[in-house]
Amino acid sequence: MSNRFAALTGNQAAALAMRQIEPDVCAAYPITPSTQVMETYSQYVADGAVRTELVLVESEHSAMSACVGAACAGARAMTATSSQGLALMHEVLYIAAGLRLPIVMAVANRALSAPLNIHGDQSDTMGSRDAGWIQLYVRDVQELYDTLIQAPRIAEHCEVMLPVMVCFDGFTLSHAIERVELLEDGAVRDFVGVYRPERYLLDVEHPHTFGPALLPDYYTEAKRQQREAMSRALEIIPHVALEFGARFGRAWGMVEAYRLEDAEIAAVVLGSTAGTLMEVVDRMRERGVRAGMLRLRAFRPFPAEEVVRLLAPLKAVAIFDRADSPGTPSGPLYEEIRSVLYDAPARPRISGMVYGLGGREMLVEEASATYEALERAAAGTAEIPPPGYLSARG
C-alpha cells in the first residue's frame, strides 16, 4: 500500500486512474456530469504526463466509433460519458461488444431526457444493459478508482474480451470530494500490464477481418460466443479483484453483503445509495430487527448464484431501482432478481421500489419506512408492499 491520500471528486479519481493506466487512445466528447473526467485527462495529455493519443470528436457516437477503430488496430482504448451521450453511442456499443473489443468506459450515471435533467439516476446504463458490455457499479470514490484500474484486466482477459462500463452516480460521486487512497504509478502499470492483443488489424503477418457480415448461417453462433464470454466473466471479475486485494489490501467482490448473516429482511440496491441503506440497517439492528442489505457491484454479468444464496433464505426483500422499465411491474433490477429466485426451493416475498429518478436522493426516513413494511410482512401482520414508486408526489 502506498499510504498516499488525496481529496478527489469521482471525476478526478477516474481521470487519475486513467492516467495511471495510460491507454494508447482516448476519444471523448464532453457531457455533464462526466465532463470533468476528460477535462482533467486532457490536461494530463497537454502536460505530457501521458503518451495517450487524445482524439477530440464531434459527438459521443464518434467517440465510441474512434475507440472501436483504435481497439481494432490493437490499441488499449478508453473513454467517458453520461446520459444522452451514452444513448447516442447506443449503436456503436453493440459493435464494440460484437467485435469483442476490450474498451473501458467510465460512465457518470445521469437521467435521460425528456424532461431535461442533468442529475443522477441509472436510466442511461440500464438502457444499455443488453448491449453486451460488462457493467460494474460502485458505491464510493475509492471503489471507483480501484475498479477502473481493474477494468482493463477484466476486459482484456483472453477468456473475456468484452468492453467494460464502470458506472458511478452522477453528482453524488462524480462531483463529491472524498478521501482516496492512491497507488503508485508503477504499481498500477505493473498490475494492469501491457496489452498484447491476439488479433488486430495492423498485424500484416497474420491478417484478420473485423466487422464481417454474418447472415443467418453464423450470426447466432457469434452471439452465443458473446454470451459464453460474459458467463466466463463471472469468474474473471472476482479473480482480478482477489489479485488486486492481495497486492493493495482492498478487495471487491461481485456483491457486497451487509449484515446478511442472520437477516430476515433486506433491501437490494446498486451504487451509492448503499450508504444510506447501511445507516438504516444499523438503526433497525439497534431495535432488534434482523435487517440487512445487498449491493450488487456487477449487473452484467448478473451474479445469479450469489444473489440466490444470499436472498433465498430471507422472509421479505425490497429491491430499489434507480431506473424504471415502463410496461413491466417495476425496474430492471427487480425483474432480474425475481427471475433468478423463481426456481429457488424457498424464496422471500419481494417488493420493488423505483426511487431517486432525476437526482432525488433517498431519505433515511423513506428507506426506514420500507424496512418497517418488510418487517411487518415478515411477521405476517401485513402484505408485502406492491411494486411502485418510493415517495412520488401524487
List of E strands, the chain: 4-9, 25-28, 53-56, 77-81, 104-109, 134-137, 164-169, 177-182, 255-258, 265-269, 291-296, 298-300, 316-321, 349-354, 388-389
Domain shared by 45 and 160, yes or no:
yes
Residues, the chain, total?
394
Q: Which residues contact 186 (CB under 8 A, 6 or more apart)?
A: none
Residue 13 lies in a domain: yes
**Across residues 96-107, what is the average pLDDT?**
98
Q: What are phi and psi of 25, to 5 degrees?
A: -135, 135
Structural domains of the chain, count: 2
Residue 41 scores a pLDDT above 60: yes
pLDDT tens readout for residues 270-296: 999 999 999 999 999 999 999 999 999
Residue 128 lies in a domain: yes
Domain shared by 164 and 196, yes or no:
yes
Domain shared by 128 and 227, yes or no:
yes
At which residue does the C-alpha cell 495492423 appear? Answer: 202
Q: What integer pLDDT is reported at residue 61 of this predicted model? A: 98
What is the pTM (predicted TM-score) of this model? 0.97
**Across residues 339-355, what is the average pLDDT?**
96
**Across residues 104-112, what is the average pLDDT?**
98
Q: Which domain holds residue 313?
A: 257-389
Domain shared by 208 and 271, yes or no:
no
CATH code of the domain in which 289 resides: 3.40.50.920
Residue 299 — very low, low, confident or very high, per pLDDT cuts 50/70/90? very high
Domain shared by 224 and 267, yes or no:
no
Instruction: Choose among 165, 133, 83, 127: nearest CA to 324.
Output: 127
Complete DSSP assignment for 112-127: PSSS---S--SHHHHT
Domain shared by 235 and 361, yes or no:
no
Burial of 269 (0-12, 13-18, 19+ CB in 10 A): buried
DSSP state of 386: P
Domain boundary among 231, 248, 265: 248
Domain shared by 126 and 227, yes or no:
yes
Residue 234 lies in a domain: yes
**Across residues 250-256, what is the average pLDDT?**
93
Q: Is 3 left (phi over 0), alpha (psi -120 to 50) or beta?
A: left
Q: Which three cell numbers stand for residue 48?
A: 505530457
Domain boundary among 210, 227, 248: 248
Residue 316 lies in a domain: yes
Residue 2 scores a pLDDT above 80: no
Q: Which residues contact 377 (CB under 8 A, 6 or more apart)?
A: 265, 315, 316, 349, 351, 383, 384, 385
Residue 356 scores a pLDDT above 70: yes
Residue 374 lies in a domain: yes
Q: What integer pLDDT is reported at residue 38 of this predicted model? A: 96
Domain shared by 127 and 269, yes or no:
no
Domain boundary among 189, 222, 248: 248
Dihedral sign of CA atoms 132, 98, 73, 196 in order: positive
Q: What integer pLDDT is reported at residue 209 of this predicted model? A: 87
- What percent of the chain has a predicted confidence (pLDDT) above 90? 95
328 by DSSP, 3-state: which? Answer: coil
Residue 394 lies in a domain: no
Domain shared by 239 and 320, yes or no:
no
Q: What integer pLDDT is reported at residue 211 of this predicted model? A: 85
- What percent of the chain has a predicted confidence (pLDDT) above 70? 99
**Across residues 201-211, what is the average pLDDT?**
89
Domain shared by 30 and 158, yes or no:
yes
Domain shared by 281 and 231, yes or no:
no
Look at 19-28, 68-77, 89-98, 205-214 and tell me which has the smallest mean pLDDT.
205-214
**How crowded is the C-beta side of 265, counted as CA atoms within 13 Å?**
27
CA–CA distance, 254 with 306 (Å, rounded to integer): 8
Helix, strand, coil shares of the chain as percentages rounded to 5?
40, 20, 40
129 by DSSP, 3-state: which? Answer: coil
Residue 1 scores a pLDDT above 70: no
Q: What integer pLDDT is reported at residue 31 of this predicted model? A: 98
Q: What integer pLDDT is reported at residue 208 of this predicted model? A: 87
Domain shared by 242 and 263, yes or no:
no
CATH code of the domain in which 199 resides: 3.40.50.970
Dihedral sign of CA atoms 300, 309, 325, 172 in order: negative
